């Protein structure tokens, strides 16, 4: 017996990409949940106590946005994909690995936002996530072909290249001032807040 024999090819494609997207959505939901559970309420009942927790809240907002942007672009990317190969699955797991580190770093920066190591490490994870997303895109293009919807829509991937440079710079500049790194992280998030043409064209 051959599994999948007689199945509608288009339906099989949607099933494969749908399962991969559903799995990824579950992992990303857990990541966001962990970040939310790590938030601590102010110790007092006044605005001064809230101010003390403000750095942790701001890094939470940044990380939430970071994960949300990946979720949004990942959704559109898989909707445009036509085949799920072993390479695509491993590339997807590679991306989820880097994103799964975000909750730990969010808490670390929240407690030590003025220190170099947390900011630099956040930059490393941001860089790793950007590399992993690029690898996922290339894996899908290899599976679907150079004339595929993903390949056509991605084009030169200017945003991806800029992100890699920004995260690399943020990692290095954390040793000058963590605040420079945070500004670069926020700038990358703003750049990606609007989906790419690939996202818009994939529905």
Q: Which domains does the chain have, with CATH numbers?
A: 13-202 (1.20.1410)
At 139 the pLDDT is 92
Nearest-angstrom CA–CA distance, 78 and 136: 10
109-to-44, 104, 189 alpha-carbon distances in Å: 21, 9, 17
In 44-157, which residue ranges form alpha helices assigned H by DSSP?
47-80, 86-100, 102-111, 116-144, 149-154
At 53 the pLDDT is 81
Long-range contacts of 35-39 (CB under 8 A, 24+ apart): 35/60, 35/63, 35/64, 35/67, 35/102, 35/103, 35/106, 36/60, 38/103, 38/106, 38/107, 38/110
At 176 the pLDDT is 97
At 4 the pLDDT is 39
DSSP 146-172: TTSHHHHHHTT-HHHHHHHHHHHHHHH
Q: Is 190 helix (H, G, I), strand (E, B) or coil?
A: helix
At 65 the pLDDT is 95
CA angle in degrees (0–180, nearest 5) for 179-66-194? 105
At 60 the pLDDT is 95
At 198 the pLDDT is 45
Q: Which of 165, 65, 185, 68 is nearest to 121 (CA)?
A: 185
Per-residue pLDDT of the chain (203 residues; tens, 9 = 90+): 333 334 445 555 566 788 899 999 999 999 999 999 988 877 777 777 778 788 889 999 999 999 999 999 899 888 888 888 899 999 999 999 999 999 999 999 999 999 999 999 999 999 999 999 999 999 998 888 877 788 777 777 788 899 999 999 999 999 999 999 999 999 999 988 765 544 444 34
């Amino acid at each position: 017996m051959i599994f999948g024999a007689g199945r509608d090819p288009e339906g099989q494609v949607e099933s494969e990409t749908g399962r991969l997207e559903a799995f990824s959505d579950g992992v990303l939901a857990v990541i966001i949940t962990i970040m939310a559970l790590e938030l601590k309420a102010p110790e007092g009942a006044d605005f001064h106590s809230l101010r003390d927790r403000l750095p942790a809240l701001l890094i939470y907002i940044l990380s939430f946005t970071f994960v949300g942007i990946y979720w949004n672009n990942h959704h559109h990317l898989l909707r445009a994909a036509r085949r799920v190969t072993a390479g695509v699955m491993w590339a997807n797991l590679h991306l989820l690995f880097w994103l799964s580190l975000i909750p730990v770093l969010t808490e670390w920066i929240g407690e030590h936002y003025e220190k170099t190591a947390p900011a630099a490490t956040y930059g490393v994870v941001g860089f790793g996530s950007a590399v992993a997303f690029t690898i996922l895109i290339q894996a899908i293009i290899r599976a679907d072909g150079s004339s595929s919807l993903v390949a056509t829509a991605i084009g030169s991937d200017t945003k991806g290249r800029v992100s890699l440079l920004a995260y690399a710079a943020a990692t290095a500049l954390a040793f000058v001032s963590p605040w420079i790194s945070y500004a670069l992280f926020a700038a990358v998030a703003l750049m990606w807040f609007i989906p790419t043409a690939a996202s818009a064209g994939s529905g």
